[in-house]
Structure 1
Amino acid sequence: MSATPLYGGIEAGGTKWVCAVADAGGRVLETGVIPTTTPGTTIAGAVRFFRRHRTLRAVGVGSFGPVDLRPDSPAYGHILATPKPGWSHTDVVSPLRTALGVPVGLDTDVNAAALGEWRRGAGRGRETVAYLTVGTGIGLGAVVNGRLLRGLLHPEFGHIRVPRDRTRDAFAGSCPFHGDCLEGLASGEAMRQRWGRRAEDLDDPAVWELEAGYLAHAVVNLTYVLSPERIVIGGGVAKRPGLLSRIRARAFDLAAGYPAAPALTVRAAMDEYVVGPELGDHSGITGAIELGMCS
Structure 2
Amino acid sequence: MSLLGAIEAGGTKFVVAVADTENPEEVIQRESFPTEDGEKTLKNVIAFFDQFEDIDAIGIAAFGPIDVKPDSATYGYVLDTPKRGWSGFDFLGTMKAWRDIPYFWTTDVNGAGWAEYVSGAAKDVENVVYLTVGTGVGAGIIQNGELLAGRSHPEAGHIMMQRHPDDHYEGLCPFHGNNCLEGLTAGPAVEGRWGVSGKDLPDDHEAWKMEAFYLAQAAVTYTAILRPDMIIFGGGIPHREILFPLIRESFAEQMNNYLDVPDLDTYIQPVKNGDNAGILGCFYLAKTLVK
TM-score category (smaller protein): over 0.9
Cα shift at 1:125? 2.1
1:35-65 deviation digits (Å, cap 9, x = unpaired): 2112111101111111211110111100000
Cα distance in structure 2, aligned partners of 1:101 and 1:153: 24
1:217 and 2:211 are equivalent in the alignment: no
2:285 aligned counterpart, secondary structure: helix
Matches of 1:107 and 1:58, distance apart in 2: 14
CA deviation string 1:239-277 (max 9, x = no partner): 11311111011101211112233x2xxxxx201111111
Residue of structure 2 equivalent to 1:84 = 83
- Does the 8 A contact of 1:34 with 1:46 survive in 2? no
CA positional deviation for 1:113: 0.6
Pick aligned residue for 1:276 from 253, 270, 283? 270
Alignment partner of 2:175 out of 174, 177, 193:
177
Matches within 5 A, 1:194-233: 194-203=193-202, 205-233=205-233
Counterpart of 1:176, as a letter, is: P
Q: What is aligned with 2:166?
A: 168
Is the contact between residue 131 and residue 142 of structure 1 (CA under 8 Å) also seen in structure 2? yes
| Structure 2 unmatched ranges of 5 or more | none
Instruction: Write the distance in 2 (CA, Å) between the matches of 1:151 and 1:39.
Output: 26
SS of the counterpart of 2:141? strand
Matching residue of 2:2 = 5
2:18 to 8, 21, 37: 21
Cross-structure match for 2:249: 249
CA drift of 1:211 comes to 0.7
Could you tell me how far apart the structure 2 residues matched to 1:215 and 1:200 are? 18
How many residue pairs get matched?
Answer: 285
Q: Give 1:119 deviation, angstroms.
A: 0.8
Q: How many angstroms apart in 2 are the aligned matches of 1:232 and 1:241?
A: 13
Q: Is the 8 A contact 1:140 1:157 kept in 2?
A: yes
- By how many angstroms is 1:160 displaced? 0.5
- Cα RMSD, aligned residues only: 1.2
The one-letter code of the counterpart of 1:275 is: Q
Structure 2 match to 1:266: none
Q: Secondary structure at the match of 1:95?
A: helix
What is the one-letter code of the residue matched to 1:18?
V
Q: CA–CA distance in 2 between the matches of 1:100 and 1:198?
A: 42
Runs (4+) of structure 1 exceeding 6 A deviation are none
Equivalences for residues 1-295 of structure 1 within 5 A: 4-24=1-21, 25-26=23-24, 27-165=26-164, 167-180=165-178, 181-203=180-202, 205-261=205-261, 263=262, 269-295=263-289
Q: Deviations over 1:9-57 (max 9, x none)?
A: 1100011110111112212211111221121111011111112111101
